Amino acid sequence: MSTAPNETATPSANTNNDLMVAEQISATVQEELQGTQFIDVHTHLFMPSLGKLGLWGIDELITYHYLEAELFRSSPIKPDAYWHLTKQEQADLIWRTLFLENPPVSEATRGVVAVLEAFGLETRANSLQAARDFFSRQELSSHIRRVFKLAGISEVAMTNDPLDPDEGPTWERGPERDPQFHPVLRLDRILNKWDEHWSVLAAKGYRVERAVNDASANEIRRFLADCYARMQPVYMACSLPDTFEYPEQSTRGHILKDAVVPACREFNIPLSLMIGVRYQVNPSIRLAGDASGKADLRALEHLCASFPENRFLTSVLSRENQHELCVYARKFSNLLPFGCWWFLNNPSVVEEITRERVEMLGTTFIPQHSDARILEQVIYKWRNTRRIMAPIFANHYRLLLEDGWPLTRADIKQDIKRMFRSNFERFAGLNSSHGQRSAN
Smallest distance from ligand FIX to CB 199, Å: 23
Phi-psi map region of 290: left, alpha, beta (phi>0 left; psi -120 to 50 alpha): beta
Binding partner at 342 among ligand FIX, Zn ion, none, C-beta below 5 to 8 Å by kind: ligand FIX
What angle separates helix 377-402 from helix 140-151, to the nearest 10 degrees?
Answer: 20
Q: Is 287 among the residues that bind ligand FIX (CB under 6 A)?
A: yes
Binding partner at 287 among Zn ion, ligand FIX, none, C-beta below 5 to 8 Å by kind: ligand FIX
Per-residue binding letters, 328-367, with Zn ion (x by CB under 5 A):
----------------------------------------
User: Distance between CA atoms of 332 and 431, rounded to whole angstroms?
Assistant: 23
Using CB atoms within 10 A of its CB, is residue 370 exposed (0-12), middle (13-18) or buried (19+)? Answer: buried
Q: Is 342 among the residues that bind ligand FIX (CB under 6 A)?
A: yes
Smallest distance from ligand FIX to CB 316, Å: 12
Smallest distance from ligand FIX to CB 137, Å: 28
Binding partner at 239 among ligand FIX, Zn ion, none, C-beta below 5 to 8 Å by kind: ligand FIX
Classify each residue of 264-275 as buried b or exposed e, where b means 16 or more C-beta atoms within 10 Å of its C-beta: beebebbbbbbb
Q: Is 371 among the residues that bind Zn ion (CB under 5 A)?
A: yes
User: Distance between CA atoms of 219 and 242, rounded to whole angstroms?
Assistant: 28
Smallest distance from ligand FIX to CB 345, Å: 7
Q: Is 373 among the residues that bind ligand FIX (CB under 6 A)?
A: yes
Binding partner at 373 among ligand FIX, Zn ion, none, C-beta below 5 to 8 Å by kind: ligand FIX
Residue 98 per-residue DSSP state: I
Smallest distance from Zn ion to CB 222, Å: 27
Cβ closest to Zn ion, residue 50 vs residue 131: 50
For 107, residues 6+ apart whose C-beta sits below 8 A from its C-beta are 345, 346, 347, 384
SS (H, E, C) 8-46: CCCCCCCCCCCECCHHHHHHHHHHHHHHCCEEECCCCCC
Give the residue, chosen from 220, 274, 297, 336, that forms a contact with ligand FIX under the rule CB under 6 A.
Answer: 274
Smallest distance from Zn ion to CB 360, Å: 25
What angle separates helix 65-74 from helix 107-118, to the nearest 10 degrees?
Answer: 120
Contact set with Zn ion (CB under 5 A): 371
Contact set with ligand FIX (CB under 6 A): 159, 239, 274, 287, 342, 371, 373
